[in-house]
Structure 1
């Protein structure tokens, strides 16, 4: 079984100088700004800094400026989705005390995907509001189901049982999605592109709809950051410290479900961002969730934006590599490394 104290904030971590953390956050902001500029610069046609500045000023007269205008929503969407997935992953790891928890591994992303597929196939769902509502409902149902299954048996919802329940649930949802979509040839090609996970189809109206929902989810996670520190110590210890365990866990879980569901609705199920980012951020800013959550959001936005850039650089044509493929290539070895490291600690 994976030990819970790995995610607990020790005294040294909580005393880590504020200045060092602030400097890391500032460095993260600078890196994110550079990546945003690179994101609107690279593609099938390279553009100059003058084109970028002109496009930001509202001009789209030249081919380069038009390319920048087209890439801007894609860049913004990568930033939003990356931040949302990383924040959701960090929150899920705190709520479940499971170092390998994240929307994809726990089956939440596929639960959201299955709900959207049902809405499209049987209800003709095309409204973005409806798709987002279905995705969040599906994510919530998957989260409740996985937690319920993982709680069965002796010891309750242990990290190992949650991971196994999530993997089985994710596989089941993937099979159900295929069963629903295969007879629908008219929708199959569009859905296959969405199922891979990407930000290439970004549009300002959909971003405007999604951003407020993601903001609500993020706020729910941030307001429970102090409580997450207590949860990491165990429910009994958290209760002894005066924390309302059930309320903190419920609010945190709701925030992470909203983030995962909304991100999946607009960009498809993108995996491993919520797994990779929190672990790397703990190495930089420690385990205090008051710092870990905002830094995870920042680093997640940077990771997804960088992955999108890499996909366009490798294949700058119309057949560019989707960002979901890049994150899977990075995340799969990282997942194996985490599992092996935890097993060694238990020996």
Structure 2
């Protein structure tokens, strides 16, 4: 199954490079088609794969450490908080290297606020967390709306950016995001056993010498760093971190050694497919923002989870 999924992913990557407003003949490309393939399509497809892996990996860690099947960067308010920092940085005309750092800071503030509000007597209440995440999204959206109103010169770029997409991609951005993803993945993979114990029982994890608070804090910071870097480069692409970890657990189990890898791989696969659809669904060369496609898929999946698991949410 693992080899088959990797093969499907490789085939999808190759096929996505050929799909778009200009179809490319892989066997005898013209010079123009070759320039499009190497200069535009290839970095964009690889970038969408890296961003999808970042969102899928962060969603897997959020759901495990928060013990909430509805937790991801969007429902916990991390994405909207990160977007708030990025929008303010863009509106104020700050240097581009500062945008991910400001997005990380506001994302951490939003996530830890939601976490503190949802924790009662040391226990995280899933329903309270979702409600706190909704409130955080509303507050962040209000401030973003104010920024759009006050900074009229940046309005069009902010609105376009908030839809989420891969409109401006280069090898530098791809390299940066790939390095962040690799660092986060290796860190989580090295702590997979501790994360497994944390998922089963916090008291057992503490009795085995694991510092639960430090482990959860590190997981929050690194997962939010993934979200902040992704959001600062692509805008809000929601619900990838909600869908992918569920599919990964249902297919390959809950062991974090497997879940981290397959959540990253499935996230990459999902976003590559969504990006290919965004470049092909509208005739005439127009592109649909990827965030619209993932929001539609995620909304349907969110409703499915609420329908099938609502008793567990409300009654524990």
TM-score by length of structure 2 reads 0.94
Say whether residues 1:67 and 2:67 are aligned partners. no
Q: Secondary structure at the match of 1:303?
A: helix
How many residue pairs align between the two structures? Answer: 313
2:104 aligned residue: 136
Say whether residues 1:185 and 2:155 are aligned partners. no
1:9 aligned residue: none
2:219 aligned residue: 252
Ranges in structure 2 where 5+ consecutive residues have no aligned partner: none
Ranges in structure 1 where 5+ consecutive residues have no aligned partner: 1-23, 55-60
1:108 aligned residue: 78
Q: Return closer, same or farther for 1:155/1:248 CA change in 2, 3 Å cut-off.
A: closer
Aligned residues: CA RMSD: 1.7
2:271 aligned residue: 304
* Partners of 1:276 and 1:331 within 8 A in 2: yes
- Distance in 1, Cα, partners of 2:121 & 2:216: 21
2:10 aligned residue: 33
> Pairwise mapping of residues 25-174 of structure 1 onto structure 2 (< 5 A)?
25-50=2-27, 62-69=31-38, 70-122=40-92, 124-127=93-96, 129-151=97-119, 153=120, 156-174=123-141
Question: Where has structure 1 moved over 6 Å in runs of 4 or more?
Answer: none
- Distance in 1, Cα, partners of 2:167 & 2:7: 24
- Distance in 2, Cα, partners of 1:266 & 1:273: 16
Shift, 1:154, TM fit: 5.6
* Partners of 1:119 and 1:131 within 8 A in 2: yes
- Distance in 2, Cα, partners of 1:299 & 1:339: 22
TM-score by length of structure 1 reads 0.86
Shift, 1:42, TM fit: 0.6
- Distance in 2, Cα, partners of 1:176 & 1:140: 17
